[in-house]
Structure formats: C-alpha cells, structure tokens
Amino acid sequence: MPAIITHHVFGEDVARSLPADVVSGEEELLAFLLGNQGPDPLFARFSTLPSLAARTHALASTIQGGRVTRAFMTLRDGVSHLPPADERVGRAFVLGLLGHYALDRAVHPFVVSQQRAICAADPDLEGSSGEVHALIESDIDSWILWERCSATVEERPAAGNLMRTERIERVGGALFSQMALAVFGVAVSAREYVASVRDYERLYRLIDPARSPLSRAAGTVERLTRGRSRAEAMAHYVRRSNECPAANLECRPWEDPFTAKVRHESVADLFDEARLAYPALAEALVRGRDAELRRLVGGLNYAGRPDTDD
C-alpha cells in the first residue's frame, strides 16, 4: 500500500476533481483528506496497553483484508445515522476512505512485487519483508512529494497531513467503531480511532526526517526489542530529485503477486489508474447502488488480492 504522503497527495488530486457541492468548506476537506489515510493510523497505535494496541493493529489488517463492499455500504448507512450537523463531515470522511481503498488496490500489487524481488535477491533480508515494504513506500512518498510539490518533509512534514478538528475525530471514530462491529464483529471504542490518529502523528514527528537524532534513537530502541526497526524504514529521507527507482519510472516488467501476470506500469501509471477509477466508485457509493459498487470493487481487497469481497 502507499504511505501517508502519497495518500494525501492522491486525496488532494481527487478533491479538486469532485463536484463543488460534494466536499465544501475547510472542515469537510480536512475530513476527506484524513479519510484518505484509511485504516493506516490503526497500525500506529502504541500509547496504550500492548494487548489493546495489538487488537487495533489486527482490526486494521482485517478491514484491509476483504468485505470491501459491505464495509463501505455500512459506512454510508452510518453517515445517515449521524446528527444532521455532522452528516456532511461524515460523508466527506467516508469518501476519503474510499480514495484510500482505490489507491491501495492499484499500487499495492506493485509494492509487494518489488518487496518480494528485493528479499529474494538478498538472503540477509529474510524476515525483514515488512521493513523492505515500508522502505519502498517511504521512497515513493519522498519522490511524489518532490515531484508534485517541489518540497521535502523538512518543508512539508508528513505529520501535517493529519490535520483535523475535534468533530472530524469524533465522527471518524464513530463510523469506524460502527463499521468494525457490524461488518467484522469487532467491538472497538470510537476513541481508539482518535487515539490511533494521534499516535500516527506522534510517530512521524518522532521519526522524520530519516537519520535525524530522534529517528536514530527510535530505531535503536526498536532494534533492541525486535532486532530490526520498522520505524526507521518508514522515515522519509530528504531528497530533492525526480528520480526514484522504487517508482519504476522506466516501466520495467514486474510480476503481479496475485495473478502472476507480467505488468509494466510505474507508480505514476497506477496513481492515475486509481484516480480515474475513483469517480465511478464514489458515485455508486453515494447513490447506494450496492450491486454496482460490488461490480466496481471487482472482488479486490485493499492489497489488490482478488476474490475477497464476500
């Protein structure tokens, strides 16, 4: 899946293409952009009991694993049960979540393909596939931030992509909690989403930019307990270049891990694929067309794995 910056840039692109009355005003835009981070903040939960953090991480994996159509139709229904003053913020947030899904399913097969190729080429990386995956994503983040915004995380810190209001936190937490129970049978407090977003923000404030004293210290502590550091792999390097081997800009062949099909798309191509697919997904969701949304989801989960939309 892409990481925090790529999802934010995608959200900004999609927001500009939406009809003016769909997402209007600053708070609705912030809700839409936070929604574009999807369930990823749940993976960052750390400032709680280890058992609760693990449960929150497991929920994020479960959401990404399947039942996509049911989850989004449930979220749509959840918006209709919000207080009238919160409905538009809730709808913007859910439409943002849909953007996260659209980009994830397009880009994730490529990232997994690259991760597997790198790990296969170096036996020393056995057991570090998660860190390799995170490093690929952070490289793509740094590239797209420079390519689209002529900036680095020094000028535009990744944590700044999580701007929100108290209402957005409250509404997003309520929607996640209701969806988790109704679709996946997982009871989780609405406060867990809020706390996860705050932990996600704290994490990036700690680890960015890569190789800073705080980032190195966090990596050292994590390696003492795990033997390797996911946090350091997630950190963004300060790079001022349009070159990015991790983005496959030369369109070299790669194998889709779920279909074994040889493909040639770059990350830029996959980004555009998701952007073009989004309007139809959003219209089907807004209009409550379950069968049409299921057809457009095409059985794909967030990883782009087929036959998961039961």
> In this predicted model, what pLDDT tens digit does every residue of 157-204 receive, in sequence order?
999 999 999 999 999 999 999 999 999 999 999 999 999 999 999 999
Phi, psi of 255 (to 5 degrees): -105, 125
Residue 36 binned pLDDT confidence (cut-offs 50, 70, 90):
very high
Token pair 């929150």 is found at 56
Single-letter code of the amino acid located at 217: A
Report strand pairing: 262-263 vs 254-255. antiparallel
User: Which stretch of DSSP H or E encloses residue 255?
Assistant: strand 254-255
Model confidence at 237, in pLDDT bands (50, 70, 90)?
A: very high
Query: Above 70 in pLDDT, residue 26?
Result: yes
Least Cα distance to 36 among 69, 14, 63 occurs for: 14
| Residue 20 banded pLDDT, cuts 50, 70, 90 | confident
Beta pairing partners, 255:
262
Q: Which pLDDT does position 1 carry in this prediction?
A: 66
- Dihedral pair phi/psi, residue 81, rounded to 5°: -100, 5
Q: Which residue has the tokens 């998961």?
A: 308
Q: Where are the alpha helices (DSSP H) in the chain?
A: 4-17, 25-35, 50-65, 68-80, 87-121, 129-149, 166-184, 190-207, 213-226, 230-234, 267-286, 290-297
Give the mean pLDDT of the chain.
97
SS3 track for 261-293 = CEECCCHHHHHHHHHHHHHHHHHHHHCCCHHHH
The tokens describing 216, both together, are 């190195």
Is the predicted pLDDT of residue 231 greater than 70, yes or no?
A: yes
Whether residue 35 is predicted with pLDDT greater than 90 in this model: the reply is: yes
pLDDT band for position 283 (50/70/90)? very high
Question: In the chain, pLDDT over 70 holds for what percent of residues?
Answer: 100
Pull the structure tokens for residue 244: 């990015």
Classify residue 95 as exposed, middle or buried by CB count within 10 Å of its CB (0-12, 13-18, 19+).
buried
Q: Domain map of the chain by residue range?
A: 4-297
Region 259-283 average pLDDT: 98
- Asked whether the predicted pLDDT for residue 141 surpasses 80, the reply is yes
Among 131, 176, 169, 163, which Cα is nearest to 39's?
Answer: 176
Residue 126: pLDDT band with limits 50, 70, 90: confident
Asked if 33 and 8 touch (Cβ cutoff 8 Å), the reply is yes
Overall average pLDDT of the 217-231 stretch: 92
Residue 112 has a pLDDT of 97
Q: What is the dihedral of CA 192, 27, 7, 309, to 10 degrees?
A: 60
Q: Residue 254 pairs with which residues in a beta bridge?
A: 263
CA gap 252, 239 in Å, rounded: 23
Burial class (CB in 10 A: 0-12, 13-18, 19+), 122: exposed
